[in-house]
Amino acid sequence: MTTSTSLVYLIALPLAGAVILLLAGRRADKWGHLLATALSASSFGVGLYQLSQMLSRPTEERAVTQKLFTWISVGSFNIDAGILLDQLSICFVLLITGVGTLIHIYSISYMSHDENRRRFFAYLNLFIASMLLLVLGDSYLNLYVGWEGVGLASYLLIGFWNQKPAYATASKKAFVMNRIGDMGLSFAIMIAFATLGSVSFSGVEEASHTASQATLTAIGIMLLIAAAGKSAQFPLQAWLGDAMAGPTPVSALIHAATMVTAGVYLIVRSHFIFDAAPTAQLLVVLVGAVTLTFGALVGTAKDDIKKALAASTMSQIGYMILAAGLGPAGYAFAIMHLLTHGFFKAGMFLGAGSVMHGMNDQVNMRRYGALRKFMPITFATFGLGYLAIIGVPPFAGFYSKDAIIETAFNAGGIKGILLGSTALLGAAITAFYMTRVMVLTFTSPERWEKDQHPHESPWLMWLPMAILAIGSVSTGFLFTRGDSLVHWLSPVFGEHEAHEEHFLPVIVVSGLALTAVVIGVSIALVKYQFSDVDAEAPQNVSIFTRIARKDLLQDSFNESVFMRPGQALTRLLVKTDDKVIDGTVRLVGTTAIGTGSALRKTQTGFARSYAVLILIGAVALIAGIWVVTQ
Amino acid sequence: MSPYNYLYVAGLLFTIGAVGVVVRRNAIVVFMCIELMLNAANLTLVTFSRINGTLDGQVVAFFTMVVAACEVVVGLAIIVTIYRSRRSASIDDASLLKR
């Protein structure tokens, strides 16, 4: 394995930015955002340099490592803090630093009126550093540090405007739900260490060949819980919608392009475990399939543009998890969809931010309309992202989503047909709700509130959007040309024999997917473009709409099943603590006080009575001695 | 004469002193009774010294006398001060520590 000494700069540069900006305080207000952007960009530069180095080496020597220091050394248990940059990590490194830098640039303008802009950039840099640590760690324990770091950054940024109580609650909700996932990850690490004796990726992979089925299944399920928490997958999905409380660049970077895909990374990185544990793999597929439908259904009912996009993110990550659960055939496609999604969804979120910027922070799409004329660049970039996500050829989403649908159909038997149909249905619903977002925002008649003066955003904001839009157009083609991404990643996952027998011919699957898209788009057009839309959300709607508006009752379920019994349990414990434990302590105190006040009565203050007592005592003592010695 | 008679005298003196401390209220009298008890103790020390034929008891008796002399100085000063401020030398009146 090749070693390198320059990998650490990838993480160290943005981390230094976070530290400097947080320690320098108000003094850095003038130049903090520029420093943060420059450091993020230089980290991207290091990433590009590493990529060029990697390309100049033969395939089997492309992965590089760097040992930073010995972290834990207890007897035979040794953990090094080490960095592993292989073909899989470099994809993430470039996505994180590339999209991250663009979003830094966008935020310079977007946050320019916020007096805490420096703190915002410090947190963004902290996020970039943690996310890089997550994808570059060479063991589960190193990954865990980054995993917690991005959780912290996400919490800080969702609650960035924490003067609004609802936003502060949203950040807490995200943090708490993520903790459940984090617990899964720590259990997975503990099980791996206890049974396989190692926590490094290479060590676990080696030990997994001889490990028992039950062990691997247990680790796999724990990893799946971790992935579900971080990636907002069923049943831990409820935090993502509320996470939209954060500033829009945060939603674009953390809650669309990078952090929420960490779960996909975790599953793909642990491919050796899931390949050997079919039960866990089946659960991964189920979680993916359920979430992609769940997110899509929620997306159809949301009027808040950011929440509609968040539901869409959830659904798209469902596709990635589904692909990751399909085994060696799907890993590369999961990563491909992850990368293309990183481009088009980040671009669309930035577009949503641009729309909000021009509409006085209005997020209700029923109050938009006709913005195409006023924001041509936003319309164009958002539109390209839109074409990419619904999967219109030749945009990026067409290649990546089609590949996943195809792989799902090829999974074999009834399972393949069910998964494929779910993915197709998801594609149709995606086309419907994304068209709805597009039409309500840009092309339908205007339904603005008073005093709205929509205007195009400054170039600092539209430039990143334009670059991301180019990515949304071109990446799918680039990744699939000659199966380049699949071949690039194959050393990580090991060569697998390609499925020669297809359940359906490729052209038929593409045809079905396109038909689904056309159906979805047509319904949305009929409903929203060619008929009037109310500026207020209609209340006399069917029960299904109402349930979808309430996120398919996810919060009601969590509250009644977990929150209220939890609160009851807490109250019971508080009462037990108060009555039993504190009661015992208080009893000791009262006894001492009572005994004391009873004894106090013997202290009369009369010197003569003391003298009598002393006399009696002395006589008793002498009598005692006399009796004993007699 | 048997040296044990000195011990009986010492016991008698001690008892008189002890009873005096307990039953009398006048601080001066109580003080004198304490001196009586001290001297009873001194007498026993000297007697046993004589019986055993060693000097230890006599040495201790001297110490006791020195300490008693100091104690008289301090004690009388306290009693005089209390008398001046309270116009009473009754020890039952000086029971302020009760509260």
Q: Are residues A358 and A321 in the same domain?
A: yes
Mean pLDDT, residues A503-532: 85
Q: Are residues A499 and A613 in the same domain?
A: no
Q: Which of A524, A545, A566 lies at the terminal end of a domain, its last residue?
A: A545
Q: Are residues A529 and A562 in the same domain?
A: no
Q: Mapping DSSP to helix (H, G, I), strand (E, B) and coil, where does residue A487 land?
A: helix
Query: Measuring CA to CA, which residue among A433, A616, A393, A422 is closest to residue A527?
Result: A433
Q: Are residues A515 and A593 in the same domain?
A: no
For the structural domain made of B4-90, what CATH number should be given? Answer: 1.10.287.3510
Residue B46 CB contacts under 8 Å (≥ 6 apart), including other chains: B6, B57, B58, B61
User: Is the Cβ pair B98, A605 closer than 8 Å?
Assistant: yes
Number of residues written out for chain A: 630
Mean pLDDT, residues A158-184: 90
Which residues on A lie below 8 Å from B99 (Cβ)?
605
User: Looking at chain B, which residue has its C-alpha nearest residue A608?
Assistant: B22
User: How close is the nearest chain A Cα to the Cα of B3, in Å?
Assistant: 22
Which residues on A lie below 8 Å from B92 (Cβ)?
606-608
Q: Are residues A350 and A389 in the same domain?
A: yes
Which residues on B lie below 8 Å from A611 (Cβ)?
21-22
In a domain, A368, yes or no: yes
A116 neighbors A160 (Cβ within 8 angstroms)? yes
User: Looking at chain A, which residue has its C-alpha nearest residue B37?
Assistant: A615
Mean pLDDT, residues A530-539: 79
* Mean pLDDT, chain A, integer: 88
In a domain, A225, yes or no: yes
User: Is the Cβ pair A608, B21 closer than 8 Å?
Assistant: yes
In a domain, A552, yes or no: no
Phi, psi torsion values for A197, nearest 5 degrees = 75, 15
Q: Which segment of A337-351, A361-375, A499-513 scores lowest on mean pLDDT?
A: A499-513
User: How close is the nearest chain A Cα to the Cα of B60, in Å?
Assistant: 21
What pLDDT does A630 receive? 83
Q: Are residues A577 and A453 in the same domain?
A: no
Domain positions in chain B: 4-90
Q: Indicate if the pLDDT at residue A498 is higher than 60.
A: no
User: Is the Cβ pair B98, A604 closer than 8 Å?
Assistant: yes
Which residues on B lie below 8 Å from A612 (Cβ)?
22
Q: Mapping DSSP to helix (H, G, I), strand (E, B) and coil, where does residue A239 land?
A: helix
pLDDT single digits (tens) A227-263:
999 998 988 888 888 888 888 899 888 888 889 999 9
In a domain, A551, yes or no: no
Q: Are residues A541 and A598 in the same domain?
A: no
Mean pLDDT, residues A61-67: 84
Q: Which of A492, A511, A545 lies at the terminal end of a domain, its last residue?
A: A545
Q: Mapping DSSP to helix (H, G, I), strand (E, B) and coil, where does residue A80 land?
A: strand
User: Is the Cβ pair A607, B94 closer than 8 Å?
Assistant: yes
Q: Which segment of A19-23, A178-182, A559-563 scores lowest on mean pLDDT?
A: A559-563
Mean pLDDT, residues A277-300: 90
Mean pLDDT, residues A595-619: 87
- CA end-to-end span of chain B: 54
- Domain extent at residue A566: 557-629
What pLDDT does A123 receive? 92
User: Is the Cβ pair B95, A608 closer than 8 Å?
Assistant: no
Q: Are residues A297 and A423 in the same domain?
A: yes
Give the pTM. 0.78
Q: Are residues A573 and A523 in the same domain?
A: no
Q: Which of A512, A545, A578 lies at the terminal end of a domain, its last residue?
A: A545
Q: Are residues A535 and A566 in the same domain?
A: no
Query: Torsion angle, CA of A211/A213/A219/A220, rounded to 10 degrees?
Result: 130
What pLDDT does A608 receive? 85
- Residues A447, A451, A456, A462: is their CA dihedral positive or negative? negative
ipTM for the complex shown: 0.86
Count of domains observed in chain A: 2
Q: How far apart are CA A63 and CA A4, in angstroms?
A: 10
The DSSP-derived string for A500-566 is: -S-SS-HHHHHHHHHHHHHHHHHHHIIIIISS---SS--SS--HHHHHHHTGGGHHHHHIIIIIHHH
pLDDT single digits (tens) A432-470:
999 999 988 888 888 888 778 888 888 888 899 999 898
What pLDDT does A40 receive? 92
To the nearest whole percent, how much of chain A has pLDDT over 70?
A: 98
What pLDDT does A460 receive? 86
Mean pLDDT, residues A357-373: 84
To the nearest whole percent, how much of chain A has pLDDT over 90?
A: 32
**Chain B residues touching chain A at CB-CB below 8 Å:** 18, 21-22, 25, 30, 91-92, 94-99
Q: Are residues A235 and A365 in the same domain?
A: yes
In a domain, A613, yes or no: yes
pLDDT single digits (tens) B17-52:
999 998 998 999 999 999 999 999 999 999 999 999
Task: Please give the interface size between A and B, counted as residue pairs whose CB atoms are below 8 Å apart.
Answer: 29
Residue A1 CB contacts under 8 Å (≥ 6 apart), including other chains: A61, A63, A64, A65
In a domain, A327, yes or no: yes
The DSSP-derived string for B36-49 is: HHHHHHHHHHHHHH
pLDDT single digits (tens) A380-439:
999 999 999 988 888 888 888 888 888 888 887 788 888 888 999 999 999 999 999 998
pLDDT band at residue A535 under the 50/70/90 scheme: confident
Q: Are residues A476 and A580 in the same domain?
A: no
pLDDT band at residue A322 under the 50/70/90 scheme: very high
